[in-house]
Amino acid sequence: MADKKTIRVTIESMANGGSGIAKHNGQVIFIPYTIPGEVLDAQIIREKGRVAFGRGVTLQDASADRVYPKCAHFGAGKCGRCQWQHIDYQAQLLLKQDVLADQFERVGGFANADIQPVIQSPIEWGYLYQLAFEISPEGQIGLPSADDDTLTVITTCEILHPDLLELYESLEMDFVGMRRLKLRLGSDNTPMLILYVEDEADLPELAVDFPASVNAILPDGVPINLIGETHSRYTINGHEFRVTAGCDFRHNIAQIGELSALVTKILNITPDDVVGDFYGGCGFLSVGIAPHAKSVTLVESYPPAVHDARQNCKKFDNIQVIDGAVEDELYRLNDFDALILDPPSDGLSLAVVDALGESSVKRIAYISSDPATLARDCKRLVSKGYRLGKVYPIDMHPQTYYIDAVAVLERG
């Protein structure tokens, strides 16, 4: 049972997950809403094996990087979507770099990984062009609380694009029977609701003049158009993209262009290079690479994303879009001089790692939103003959602990 007495601790570092790490009597304690260097009185509220989870009671010595949170819903027992609003943004970037280096050392075994400075987001607030809300069995919309046990009903969200916040405030709909709701905005400021339902019978009745496009997603991932457009439109680095409801993409639109330019640069693409884009989604990266390469082959398994990619890439005659799972297309690896990997958060399957080890692919840009998974897979690829080069963090999620990064791997 946790000891509820108050203990004085010093926050030594930041954990992957956003909590500060302290030690007391040899026990590691994770305490949220803290900053390395701070001294505070805390209570242990839960223990799990050799680690404990605590809460701050009294801040005795605050960090110079501590700022006043902008959102009324931020903090212990409140909304859990943001974890770092109490930290100055420039300090957030340094902490993300430290956490990434720590994961590469702890998980990957890379004691001296070359972690580059974090590419900061040009927008710190109101940057999200899509946000997912959970729906209770009673039809209440909310965001997961900081303890993940309840939903927090919000009246504002400081990281959501203001136009989507306005749409959220105007929602008047019966959400009973739905599992989840996404609000999405295109670059043209056209809003969309995406409803996740268990059965078509749960679809709501909507007025013809509803102020947004509405699409529903069934459990098998099939999108159903209810009102308006089936897709949103985005302009990135001068290129137009469509993204159908149900397709995944990074929601900080301002940073997607930076990511595309970064991948092109660090892969040193030349006009003679044949490039693979695995887990290629709607084609954002292929379109960025195509003008610099001999050819690009995009592989994607989600049918609506494949359709979008074909539409988005059709003005480039050197892009081929393949509808299929990456594991089914591994025989193509020896065709490529360079390869982009952008897998789901659980990373690469062992089949993909093994195939890469036997391939002749010289250069890899591995993009990930999970530092631990990225470090693990880089370790596996190094064991297959690759050498880890520089790792480039890019901040897609200000005010949170989330960090995307691109790792460069080359044949040793």
**pLDDT of 296-330, one tens digit each?**
999 999 999 999 999 999 999 999 999 999 999 99
Q: What's the pLDDT score for residue 2?
A: 53
Residues facing 240 on adjacent strands: 235
* Contact predicate 115/97, CB 8 Å: yes
Q: Where are the beta strands (DSSP E) in 175-222?
A: 178-185, 191-197, 213-217
How many angstroms separate the Cα of 308 from the Cα of each of 150, 248, 264, 284? Answer: 36, 11, 21, 10
Rounded CA separation 250/396 (Å) = 8
pLDDT reported for residue 207: 66
Q: Distance between CA 265 and CA 313 in Å, rounded?
A: 20
Place of tokens 């694009």: 161
What tokens appear for 159 in the block? 């990281």
CA distances to 39, 86, 89, 216 from 193, in Å: 44, 31, 30, 8
314: how many CB neighbours lie within 10 A of its CB? 11
Q: How many Cα atoms within 13 Å fall on the side-chain side of residue 278?
A: 28
Q: How far apart are CA 230 and CA 24, in angstroms?
A: 54
Residues 183 and 191: their CA atoms lie apart, in Å, by 7
Which stretches of 171-297 are DSSP H helices? Answer: 253-266, 284-289
Q: Spell out the domains of the chain, with CATH numbers in brackets.
A: 6-66 (2.40.50.140), 93-122+234-240+247-411 (3.40.50.150), 130-233 (2.40.50.1070)
What pLDDT does residue 1 have? 47
Length reported for the chain: 412
C-alpha distances in angstroms, 227 versus 77, 191, 222, 308?
37, 12, 16, 19
> Contact at 8 Å (CB) between 301 and 309?
no
Q: Which helix (H) or strand (E) holds 20?
A: strand 20-24
Angle ∠(184,243,277) on CA atoms, nearest 5 = 130
Helix/strand/coil for 171? coil
- The candidate with the shortest Cα–Cα distance to 198, out of 232, 175, 229, is 175
> How much helix, strand and coil, in percent to the nearest 5, is found in the chain?
25, 35, 45
How many Å apart are CA 388 and CA 125, to the nearest integer?
Answer: 34
Task: Determine the Cα–Cα distance for residues 231 and 214; give it in Å rounded to an integer.
Answer: 10
Q: What is the value of pTM for the model shown?
A: 0.95
Question: Could you tell me the two tokens for 284?
Answer: 């954002």
Average pLDDT per consecutive 10 residues, the chain (412 residues; last block may be shorter):
80 96 95 98 91 95 98 94 98 98 97 97 97 90 86 94 92 84 95 91 74 91 92 96 95 95 96 98 97 98 98 98 97 97 96 98 98 98 98 98 98 80
Mean of the per-residue pLDDT values of the chain: 94
User: 120-134 pLDDT, tens per residue?
Assistant: 999 999 999 999 999
